[in-house]
Amino acid sequence: MSDRPVVLVVSAADKEAEAYRGYCLESVAAVYDVVLITSEEPSWEVPYIRDCVVVPDPTDQAALSAAGRALAERHDVIGVFTWTEWYLVPVARLARQLGLPTTAPEAMQACRNKATARSLFARHRVPSASSVSVRTLQEAQRAADRIGYPVVLKPAAHAASIGVIRVDTPDQLTAAYPFAARAAGLGLESTDILVEEYLDGPEVSVECVTYRGETTVVAVTRKTVSDPPYFEELAHSVDAADPLLTEVAPAARAAIRALGITDGVSHVEMRLVGGQPRLVEVNGRLGGDMIGHLVRLATGIDLPRAAADIACDRAPDLTPTRASAAAIRLIYPDTSGTLTSLHLDGPHPPWLERVHFQHHPGDELILPAEGGDMFTARIGYAITTAPTADLAHSRAEQAVRTLGLKISPRAVSQSARIGPNA
C-alpha cells in the first residue's frame, strides 16, 4: 500500500480531456495518490489513478455525493477538487459533506452565475462592466438602450465564450439574441442572458492562488481574441517578467475577495480600458487552453499541484524557478467545411514544445457564425517557448504557418448564419 496522501479529483471525460487536462492529472499524481470521479470508464487516466467511480453526470449532486462517500470509505481522502467548470458547485458541496477543506459552495455559485458576480463586484467597488440580466428579446432591447451600444450578449452561466457575441445596433441585437439564448438555455446555475457594456481594450487573464484567504498573483496571460462579433480565444502567452503583473494584481485580488473565494486556484479575466483593469469574470478553477502548462513553462510554478495542495489544506509552493515565456496558438480554419489535409511540415525545433490536433481529415468544421463553437471549429494547438512572450508568440505563428492545412468549404445558406453578420 502507498503511504502517499490521497486526493479526490472530479474531472470531465470528454474526448479532449487528455489533450487539455492531462498535464494536470500527471502533475497531481506525481505527489498524491489520486482517486477519480469521472463520467466515463477511465482510459488514458489509468496510469495516474489509484481508484475510480464512474458517475454519468457529475452535476447530479446525489450521484456525485454517493460516489464521493464510497471513495472516502475505501481510502483516507484528505482533499477534493476539480478543474472542470461545470462541476465547481457540486464539488464544493461534496467537499463540505465530507468535512474537507473548500471554498463555500455559495462562492462557487457566484463564479458560475455572472449576474451574481457583477452584483458582488458592484457592491465591493471592483471595476467591472454595466450589466443587466434579461430573459426576453424585449428586455434585452430595453437594457441595450439604457447601457448604450455596442453591447455584449452573454449567457449568465456558461464558459469558453460560448454564446458570447458583440452587438453594435438594434437590428444586430434582434439577429444575435437567439445565438446567446441557445447557449444560455444550457446553464445549470442560470438560464438568463446578460446584456453588458462592451469593454474596449486588450484582454488578459490573471492566474491566482488563494490559500486560507490570502491570494498570490502568479502570472498574467495575454490573449488574442477573434475579430468581432465573436470572442473566440486564438492565442495566449505568459511571460515571467511581464510588467503588467503588478498593475492588474490589486483588481484580481479584489474580485476574488468580493466573490468570497477563500481557497483554490482562480482564473480572473479582465480587459484594460484606458489602461485600467475592468473585470470580465472570475473562473474558480485552473484556466483552460493549457494556460496552467504555460505558467509552468514560463515560471516553474505548478498550478495543478497547488490546487491539490490547497484542497488538502497544505500551503502551496509558489516559488518561481524559471524566468522564461511560453505561448499557445489555437488553430482555427478560415472557413467552415471538411478538413481534407492536415500535417506538420518541416523541422521540429526545440522551442516547439508540442503540437496537438483534435480534428483530422474527414472531419466537418463549423465556425460560430454558422452554428458551431470551439469544439466544432478548433483544429488543435501549438505551444512554443522563448525568452520573451513576443518571441514565443511569433514562434507559435511560425509553427502554424508550416501546417499543411486544407479545407473543402461547404455552402452555407444565409438562413443558416447566426448573429449580426447574417
SS (H, E, C) 22-59: HHHHHHHHCCCEEEEEECCCCCCCHHHEEEEEECCCCC
Crossing angle of helices 303-311 and 17-29, in 10° steps, is: 60
Nearest to 326 by CA among 201, 411, 221: 221
Please state which architecture CATH assigns to domain 130-197: 2-Layer Sandwich (3.30)
Cell output for 185: 438555455
d(CA 364, CA 373): 12
Is it true that domain 201-322 has CATH number 3.30.470.20? yes
d(CA 172, CA 166): 9
Classify 6-102 by CATH class. alpha beta
Position 416 scores a pLDDT of 43
Query: 324-422 — its CATH code?
Result: 3.30.470.20
Position 230 scores a pLDDT of 83
State the 10-residue block means of pLDDT for the chain, 422 residues long: 91 91 98 97 97 97 98 98 96 98 96 92 95 92 95 82 88 91 74 92 97 98 90 93 97 98 98 96 96 98 98 98 98 93 85 95 89 85 97 95 89 48 45
Position 223 scores a pLDDT of 96
Residue in the block written with cell 458547485: 89
pTM confidence score? 0.93
Position 347 scores a pLDDT of 77
Cell output for 196: 453588458
Position 412 scores a pLDDT of 54
Fold match, 201-322 / 324-422: yes
Position 362 scores a pLDDT of 95
Annotated domain spans of the chain:
6-102, 130-197, 201-322, 324-422
End-to-end CA distance of the chain: 61
